[in-house]
A and B are shown apart, each in its own frame.
Chain A
Amino acid sequence: MNFSEVFKQSNQLCKVSPDGKYLATCVQYRLVVRDMSTLQILQLYTCLDQISHMDWSSDSLFILCAMYKRGLVQVWSLEQPDWHCKIDEGSIGLLSSRWSPDGRHILNTTEFHLRITVWSLCTKAVSYIKYPKACQKGIDFSRDGCYMALAERRDCKDYVSVFVCDDWHLLRHFETETQDLGGLEWSPNGCVLAVWDSCLEYKVLLYSLDGRLLSTYSAYEWSLGVKTVTWSPSSQFLAIGSYDEKVRVLNHITWKKITQFEHPATINNTKAVVYKEVERRPAVGADDLSLHNITIGTTLFNTQSKYEICPPPVQIPVVKPDPDRANPKIGVSTLAFSSDSRYLATKNDNMASVVWVWDMQNMSLEAVLEQCSAVRCFQWDPRRPRLALCTGNSKLYLWSPAGCVSVEVPTEGGFQVQSLNWHCSGDSLILLVSKYHLLGTKCVQKHYFKTL
Chain B
Amino acid sequence: MPESSLDKDICSSSECRTPPLRQFSQSSLPLHRKSYMLSTFCTEQNVQECQSHINQEVSSLGLQPVWTESGSSSEMNVVAVLNCMYDLIQMHRRGLRSLENMEVEQLKSSGNVDYLQLTSTRLKEQLELSKRENTGLLERERQLQLKVKSLQNCLKNEKEEVQKLQNIIASRASQYNHEMKRKEREFNKLKERLNQLLIDKKEKKQAIDVLNNIGRADGKRSLWKTEKTEAKHEAEMYKALLSDYDTRQRELLLENAELNKVLQQMKKDMVSILSSKKPILKGDKYQDDGAQADSEDEEEVFDSSKESVELYCVHAREKLTNSIRLQWRRLKSHVERLDSQASLAQMGGSRNNDAVSQETHKEEMDRLKLEIQQCKDFIQTQQQLLQQQLSSPCDEETASLLSDCYMLQEKERLGDEWKTLEEQRTIFERERRNFTEAAIRLSHERKAFEEDRATWLKHQFLNLSPFPDSKKPPMSKSKSAFLISETKASATSAPEKLIRCPSGTNLPTPGCVPHTSSTADLYRTLCLIPENGATKPKRKSDHAEESGVFFNGKAPVRHKQWNDSEEHSSHTKEQNSSI
Contact = CB atoms under 8 A, between A and B. Distances in A.
A167 B223 contact: yes
A124 B210 CA distance: 8
Interface in B194-232: 194-195, 198, 203, 205-218, 222-223, 225, 229-230
A88 B216 CA distance: 22
Contacts of B223: 167
Contact of A189 (B181, B225, B244): B244
A83 B214 CA distance: 10
A171 B237 contact: yes
A114 B193 CA distance: 11
A175 interface: no
Given A112-B191, A167-B229, A209-B240, A91 B205 contact: yes
A124 B240 contact: no
A164 B233 contact: yes
A59 interface: yes
Interface in A101-155: 102-104, 112, 114-115, 119, 121-124, 126, 130, 146-147, 153-155
Nearest to A84: B211
B213 A210 contact: no
A208 interface: yes
Nearest to A192: B244
B184 interface: yes
B86 interface: no
16 contacts: A83-B211, A86-B208, A88-B207, A90-B207, A103-B217, A112-B191, A122-B216, A123-B213, A126-B208, A147-B237, A155-B188, A167-B222, A169-B229, A171-B233, A209-B241, A210-B238
Contact of B208 (A82, A85, A171, A210): A85
Contacts of B237: 147, 171, 209-210
B205 A146 contact: no
B94 interface: no
Interface of A: 58-59, 77, 82-92, 102-104, 112, 114-115, 119, 121-124, 126, 130, 146-147, 153-156, 164, 166-167, 169, 171, 189-191, 208-210, 253
B216 A102 contact: yes
B250 interface: no
Contact of B233 (A88, A102, A121, A169): A169
B234 to A, nearest CB: 8
B179 to A, nearest CB: 12
Contacts of A115: 195
Nearest to B203: A90
Given A59-B217, A104-B217, A90 B205 contact: yes
B349 to A, nearest CB: 44
A171 B188 CA distance: 25
Given A112-B194, A210-B241, A87 B208 contact: yes
A335 B229 CA distance: 39
A47 to B, nearest CB: 14
Most chain A CB atoms below 10 A, which of B185, B234, B244: B244
Contacts of B225: 167, 169
A115 B211 CA distance: 26
Given A88-B209, A164-B233, 18 more contacts: A77-B214, A85-B208, A85-B210, A85-B211, A88-B208, A90-B205, A91-B205, A112-B194, A114-B194, A121-B214, A122-B213, A122-B216, A123-B222, A156-B180, A167-B222, A169-B233, A208-B241, A253-B252
A42 B207 CA distance: 30
Contacts of A86: 208-209
A114 B196 CA distance: 11
Contacts of A119: 208
A74 B139 CA distance: 88
A114 B191 contact: yes
Most chain B CB atoms below 10 A, which of A83, A92, A119: A92
B246 to A, nearest CB: 11
A184 B419 CA distance: 83
Given A114-B194, A114-B195, A124 B213 contact: yes
A156 B216 contact: no
Nearest to B176: A200
Nearest to A144: B240
Contact of A83 (B184, B212, B217, B218): B212
Contact of B214 (A104, A154, A155): A104
Contact of A88 (B191, B205, B222): B205
Contacts of B236: 146, 164
A181 to B, nearest CB: 13
B340 to A, nearest CB: 39
Contacts of B240: 146, 190-191, 209
B539 to A, nearest CB: 82
Contacts of B207: 87-88, 90
Contact of A122 (B180, B185, B194, B222): B222
Nearest to B205: A90
Contacts of B188: 154-155
Contacts of B217: 58-59, 102-104
Contacts of B215: 122
Contacts of A253: 248, 252
A169 to B, nearest CB: 6
A155 B237 CA distance: 29
Contacts of B208: 85-88, 119, 124, 126
A190 B243 CA distance: 11
A104 B220 CA distance: 12
A307 B184 CA distance: 52
Contacts of B241: 191, 208-210
Contacts of A92: 194, 198, 203, 206
B466 to A, nearest CB: 106
B210 A169 contact: no
Given A102-B216, A209-B241, A210-B241, A156 B206 contact: no
Contact of B244 (A85, A90, A167, A191): A191
A283 B244 CA distance: 62
Contacts of A126: 208
Most chain B CB atoms below 10 A, which of A103, A153, A156: A156
Contacts of A90: 203, 205-207
Contacts of B205: 88, 90-91
A86 to B, nearest CB: 5
A155 B186 CA distance: 11
B206 A88 contact: yes
Contacts of B195: 114-115, 130
A130 B198 CA distance: 14
Contacts of B214: 77, 83, 104, 121-122
Given A90-B205, A169-B230, A209-B240, A156 B181 contact: yes
Interface string B241-282: 100100010001000000000000000000000000000000
Contacts of A103: 217
A130 B214 CA distance: 27
A132 to B, nearest CB: 11
Nearest to A212: B241
B185 A121 contact: no
Contacts of A153: 184
A89 B209 CA distance: 11
Given A85-B210, A210-B238, A156 B185 contact: yes
Contacts of B191: 112, 114
Nearest to A169: B233
Contacts of A210: 237-238, 241
Contacts of A146: 236, 240
B352 to A, nearest CB: 51
Most chain B CB atoms below 10 A, which of A58, A82, A167, A190: A167
Nearest to B166: A222
Interface string B531-553: 00000000000000000000000
Interface in B130-150: none
Contacts of A114: 191, 194-195
Nearest to B169: A222
Contacts of A209: 237, 240-241
B243 to A, nearest CB: 9
